[in-house]
Chain A
């Protein structure tokens, strides 16, 4: 579904992603971990099409097509979704109207007939229930005055409504209380199928107990320095990142020595 090859990207002329390779197939859940500032959100931003990130090398293929050429809205219409680490507050745009508009444009793009108002309402109720998202919040301005946890839940509510093929969750678990974590995980697990895939960026092994990943990757200094299965997450929880940082540095010196 997604193939990332030797991806390099910079922001404000500073290289942040320094050669990322990653393949995600339908039905898989990949977790990405790594120290603060290592480039996890940057990778998500590049995939979603944020303007100020410039790809300098490499390519990204999504569903057989070059992803990097298309506008953010077209990526979303093709089935990509990013749950933001820091969701925007947009006063004056109502949550529900925003979703209605998004669904209308996505459906138009896919040559599907517009969703009937009744059907939209039914779906919205169902998904609210799934992620236990307060009906009051649905009618408010987009994220305006929402608590940190409410914003994260709203991201998952949107995810549930838009039913993407590839969802990237950027630290959706940070700021969630234990109950919310359980609810969000339950929601994601319900949405999991052999047709879609998830990339879950997190700092905590706890989330991965609820949403069990097929693969775990560690991103450090713009590169994936280690990949493994869910046991890797447990090892990280225990030992921290230092050993990986050292390994990575050692590898770099060796590489330099061989040149």
Chain B
């Protein structure tokens, strides 16, 4: 398919890619002396992107997410800054959380902004370093799926973070990664991250996404790809908190590959801010007895569009997945939930559950909720459910009849609605941080 001319960004990325290939003087930073195989991978990926172009509403997966209007601006492909922007990471402060914190500004690790003692058993590299390392290079050369944006990322990614936990290592505190996005001109940032949790290791990763530019400032389009390997008997607790500001547009694709008897827990929390959020989370259960819990909480506001697409891919028998996404939609915001569960023919004894509940509060807020189950094995337990509701007038009246004002009562009910998700967060400091973030957007709650 040839891209419609209406998207100038298409020309820019073609141009950017040509420059990237033509050598180290390119506007895009970092591709010095890449291996031939990586170059070939980039070319192949770019070929795939050229075939597909940017998605339009004609693509089933983008039907409700009109991306075109976010691609109209002119974006710069180079995101370097003269000044240090890492102080913006303070916006992601989680009070009384004992963690090792690292800061990435527009995808590049700012080593001087790290805080705390790095836990043992943890290797951290920049993607720019790791892709040059013969041992790790293959992670950046493999196909990252056939999606529009992942192909573009595979072709043009520059930096990011590479994390590896040694076998049997259990770092004693969480790794807190703060992603700062900030720009003095419109910017397209394409970070690429890799996380490997080796056999029998366990890690908690908290990712916070914050931004610097004012609401009406330069736009930042983030097309981020993360690949996560959870090896046999390993465990990863993965929390993502998106609180970036309005001028950011986040498109983020995470693929998780789970080996035998591994555990992967994901919490995706999105708050009012970024005008576009598209979270694509794919969990591939590639070996038996693996287990995964996916929890989502989206509180959307303003004219925000928040789209969560998840895929749980049960490839092998005796795996368990459990998914609960809850949405609270304020103002004129739009929410989209698309949850796909795919159970392969081989994957007998699969347990797969999915639930999506929504509380639509804004008069003009909308939600599209779509569960998608494709089951090809016969001995499975699968269920899904989806609800869209408003405040219970009865519950509101009960609270108000005890002297609680309407706003506070609504706040209590929103917190109660979110509780099913927040109660699952095991770290108390993190749980109360998230409750506060929710409260910040429902003014009466924190008083």
**Interface of A toward B, CB cutoff 8 Å:** 48-51, 71-73, 75-77, 81-82, 84, 87-88, 90-93, 97-99, 101-103, 105-106, 109, 141, 158, 162
Contact = CB atoms under 8 A, between A and B. Distances in A.
Nearest to B445: A101
Given A72-B401, A88-B398, 4 more contacts: A72-B397, A72-B400, A90-B413, A92-B419
Contacts of B399: 90, 93, 98, 102
Instruction: Tell me if A's interface is mostly helix, strand, loop or mixed.
Output: helix
A75 B409 CA distance: 15
Given A87-B398, A88-B395, A73 B416 contact: no
10 contacts: A73-B400, A73-B409, A76-B400, A77-B403, A88-B392, A90-B395, A90-B398, A90-B399, A97-B412, A162-B403
Contacts of B392: 88
Contacts of A102: 399, 402-404
Contacts of A101: 404, 408, 412
Contacts of A88: 392, 394-395, 398
Contact of B403 (A76, A87, A91): A76
A101 B415 CA distance: 13
B420 interface: yes
Contacts of B403: 73, 76-77, 102-103, 105-106, 109, 162
Nearest to A79: B403
B373 to A, nearest CB: 27
B417 interface: yes
Contact of B405 (A48, A49, A105, A158): A105
B402 A76 contact: yes
B393 interface: yes
A223 B416 CA distance: 40
B98 interface: no
Interface in B377-424: 392-395, 397-406, 408-409, 412-413, 415-420
Instruction: Tell me if B's interface is mostly helix, strand, loop or mixed.
Output: helix
Contacts of B404: 73, 98, 101-102, 105
Contacts of B418: 92
Interface string B125-144: 00000000000000000000
Contact of B401 (A76, A92, A93): A76
Nearest to A93: B416
Nearest to A91: B416
Scoring B394, B404, B420 by chain A CB atoms within 10 A of each residue's CB, the highest score goes to B404
Given A51-B393, A92-B420, A82 B413 contact: no
B398 A71 contact: no
A163 to B, nearest CB: 11
Interface in B348-402: 392-395, 397-402
Interface string B249-272: 000000000000000000000000
Contacts of B401: 48-49, 72-73, 75-76, 81-82, 84
Q: What 7 pairs across the A-B complex have the smallest Cβ distances?
A: A92-B416, A92-B419, A76-B403, A72-B400, A106-B403, A102-B402, A88-B398
Nearest to A52: B393
A95 to B, nearest CB: 11
Contacts of A105: 403-405, 408
Scoring B397, B402, B405, B413 by chain A CB atoms within 10 A of each residue's CB, the highest score goes to B402
Contacts of A51: 393, 397
Scoring A49, A91, A105 by chain B CB atoms within 10 A of each residue's CB, the highest score goes to A105
A100 to B, nearest CB: 10
A92 B417 contact: yes
Given A73-B406, A105-B405, A90 B416 contact: yes
A102 B403 CA distance: 5
A80 to B, nearest CB: 8
Contacts of B397: 48-51, 72
Contacts of B393: 51
Nearest to A102: B402
A71 B415 contact: no
A98 B408 CA distance: 10
A141 B415 CA distance: 12
Interface in B83-119: none
